[in-house]
Structure 1
Amino acid sequence: MNTRSTPTIQPQTLSKIGVIGGGQLAWMMGMEATSLGISLFVQTPETDDPAVPFATETILAKIDDATATAKLANHCDVITFENEFVDLNALSKLVEQGICFRPRLSALSLLLDKYDQLIYLEKIGLPVPEFQLLNPENGKVIDHNLGYPVVLKACRYGYDGQGTFIVKNADELSEIWAKFNYPPMLLQKFVPFERELAVIAARSVAGDVAVYPIVETVQKNQVCHRVIAPANINKTIAEAAEAIAKTLLNSLQVIGVFGIELFLTSEGKLLVNEIAPRTHNSGHFSLDACETSQFKQHLRAVSGLPLGNTALKCSGAIMVNLLGFETANSEYLEKRQKIAEIPNSFIRWYGKTASRPGRKLGHVTVLIQTENDQNIEKEANAIADQIESIWYL
């Protein structure tokens, strides 16, 4: 479903796109770029990073190296992001020189710090868990009214569960905070959710918004293991999730794809957990299961093209992350071949040279066809169990 707000920029198609970051998200953008006639220019630190083979040219530099980003800008019409680990202050100087970033830096500045992000979400009327800042300026005495367990998060640079802790008591909270040397950290009320949901949404230069089917994510130790599309939720909840996505993107006036993580409580209430201002793991299923993948959609938005159709091409889908379970150098060909024998399966292997526990090495999506939508969740979990039994055993 699409909505349109008042356009602020006249659409213009751009064909040379710079990407800060060269991991699997940029790799999957690269897979989709050719069909759109787009050339990708990538800034990434290593020659063996996944996106390098798809890049027309690569600037070998750290993600937060703004001098390298200035060189990247010499090759492209617009620059976008694979991740949030950038130096906004340094990049802002490039904006003053006329370099175009999508999404815009002034919008990212509201989101990159997790505490600032929740402040902004509250300001625009979106529902969030109770939260407060653990601030060293108030001394090392911890005083909060959020109860226990409580969620402690690093304000910046946390991903895939890193920098997030479910804390059981005050002693444990003090110990973890001390371990990090008392930086400002986010405290968030623990939500005993019924399901974790996610929304992938895109906004175009013209102000159109397109939302993908709402999905359920299955997390273990704050790391996504499975994504079920569509989520087994009623129409009212699905519409409320879509409304949250549209409110956010239109309020920010951004261009590109965003991922929005949600809690669904037992009372049927939605709470926004976190915002990812980029393509997102919960949308990987779209690469094989939707008319337009989130990666092609992001390129369409950033380049000024109209947004594509977000509909599923099948009844449903299950996406399973292939996570590292050991420290090794292996391509796990035998395991991948067994998984590939599952009907309607699509394996995406990121080509990383080293495995370590929890590292995302690839993912597999299996398309589901059924006449009864109520069977999707059960069938999806059965397929995921099969995949994980091959991968982890």
Structure 2
Amino acid sequence: MKRVGVIGGGQLAWMMADAANKLGVELVVQTPSQDDPAVSIAQETVFAPVDDAIATEILAKKCDIITFENEFVDLQALSLLANQQVCFRPSLTALAPLLDKYHQRCYLKDLGLPVPDFFALDQDLDRVESKIASLGFPVVLKSRRHGYDGQGTFIIADKETWQQKLNLIHNQTANQSLYLIEEFVPFTQELAIIAARSVDGEIVNYPVVETQQQQQVCRRVIAPAAITTQQGAKIAAIAHTLLHNLQAVGIFGIELFLTIDGQVLVNEIAPRTHNSGHFSLDACQTSQFEQHLRAVCGLPLGDPSMKADAAVMVNLLGYENSQIDYKNKLQQLTAIPQTHVHWYGKTELRPGRKLGHVTVLLEHQHRDTAIAIAQNIESIWYPS
């Protein structure tokens, strides 16, 4: 029986539990809090911040392989453990070009993959102002590290907003190099694909999905996306190129923009299981969580195809700071036909925090139907 160490104890690690049981894998989790979701399903837990390399050394002694639930790790410190023959999957080499969003953009561009125009925010303000002028407002300002669920991403609408944000950066950090700027893409759809690569180099793709965001936080996922065959093939080729060049092992989430003229641009890469793939728990032959464990454990990859014609996944976000009893709302959601409710059991509830998700399986692939079902779920979940 293999033991897999997971750095991170949130819902992504928690959702590996059923797959681990199916595959005969034991999970050992490194996470800072005993209240984190994955603590309840782990065989053992190392309580420490996910960027604590000393704790990861302890984790390594308890398991055969170490993988990642998030990318908030200290790569330089972990590299010392890799030199001690600790097996990281994906490897630290595969993670290295991705953890800093500016470096990630540069890597994708070097591979010839299509990305929005971008540049690093440095100390030469005249150069920065000139580049912003060439892009034109609005522009997007992003934290290079540790941004997720909309945190660290800002839409800068005009010169006045830009100056205000620049002053705020100076007051908070005095280090502009922690950010990058990129063009604002007026997309028609935001898309995502989950792709997995095995130890032997086999790559499988899940169906391309449409993700719908509010304030840069994913609210809904519609699977499969309403795109052309050519666009789907291009996205699959992007995933293959990326994973092949990284020599990655495991699941990767790739977020993309579909532009007004039908072009595909890569937005961001997540080297782990991803919110856009949660629908696979109920809608696919092999979930992204089982696929990830299969890949990192050296097992044959599973079938990523869908069991239903289509599916819609809706995130259940917190909307107030309280210990409100959500039981009644969850019961109402469960009553919707072909519905699967996943509640993460988090103890701290706050606005915008992902507390669970709902997946509804559909008999027909119709975007309007999926949106209507999502709106019904949201009308039950959120106060009017």
TM-score in terms of structure 1 length: 0.94
Q: Tell me which residue corresponds to 1:4.
A: none
Report the CA distance between 1:139 and its aligned residue. 7.7
SS in 1 for 2:16: helix
Ranges in structure 2 where 5+ consecutive residues have no aligned partner: none
Deviation digits for residues 154-184 of structure 1 (CA, Å, limit 9, x no counterpart):
0000000000000011232232133233431
Q: Distance in 2 between matches of 1:350 and 1:356?
A: 14
Query: Is 1:120 matched up with 2:120?
Result: no
Matches within 5 A, 1:28-107: 28-107=15-94
Correspondence for 1:151 among 123, 127, 140: 140
Instruction: Give 4+ residue runs of structure 1 displaced > 3 Å after superposition.
Output: 137-143
2:212 equivalent to 1:250: no
2:104 paired with 1:110: no
Matched, 1:165 2:154: yes
1:289 — aligned with what? Answer: 283
Q: Shift of the alpha carbon at 1:141?
A: 6.3
Q: Which moved more, 1:169-178 or 1:341-350?
A: 169-178
User: Per-residue CA shift, 1:131-166, capped at 9, x if unaligned?
Assistant: 111112668963322210000000000000000000
Question: Quick check: 1:379 aligned with 2:369?
Answer: yes
Structure 1 range deviating more: 216-225 or 162-171: 162-171
The percent of aligned pairs where both chains have the same amino acid is 58
Separation of aligned partners in 1, 2:362 and 2:87: 40
Q: Deviations over 1:238-279 (max 9, x none)?
A: 111111111100010000000000000121100000000110
Shift of 1:44: 0.3
Quote the Cα distance in structure 2 between the aligned partners of 1:281 and 1:328: 24
1:205 to 196, 199, 204: 199
How far apart, CA to CA, are the structure 1 residues paired with 2:167 and 2:84?
42
Relative to structure 1, the CA distance from residue 294 to residue 331 in structure 2 (aligned partners, 3 Å threshold; closer, same or farther) is farther
* Cα contact 2:121–2:128 (8 A) shared by 1: no
Give the whole-Å Cα distance in 2 for the aligned partners of 1:349 and 1:241.
31
1:131 aligned onto 2:121? no
1:102–1:255 CA contact under 8 A, matched in 2: yes
1:227 corresponds to:
221
Aligned residue among 183, 187, 205 for 2:176? 183
Deviation at 1:199, TM superposition (A): 0.4
SS of equivalent residue, structure 1 residue 180: helix
Q: Structure 1, unaligned stretches of length 5 or more? A: 1-13
Letter in 2 for 1:187: I
Shift of 1:353: 0.6
> Which of 348, 364, 368 is matched with 2:362 structurally?
368
Distance, in Å, in 2 between the alignment partners of 1:90 and 1:143 is 38
Query: Which deviates the most, 196-205 or 166-175?
Result: 166-175
Tell whether the 8 Å contact from 2:9 to 2:30 is kept in structure 1 after alignment.
Answer: yes
Q: Which has the higher contact order (CA 8 A, sep 6+)?
A: 1
Q: Is the 8 A contact 1:108 1:277 kept in 2?
A: yes
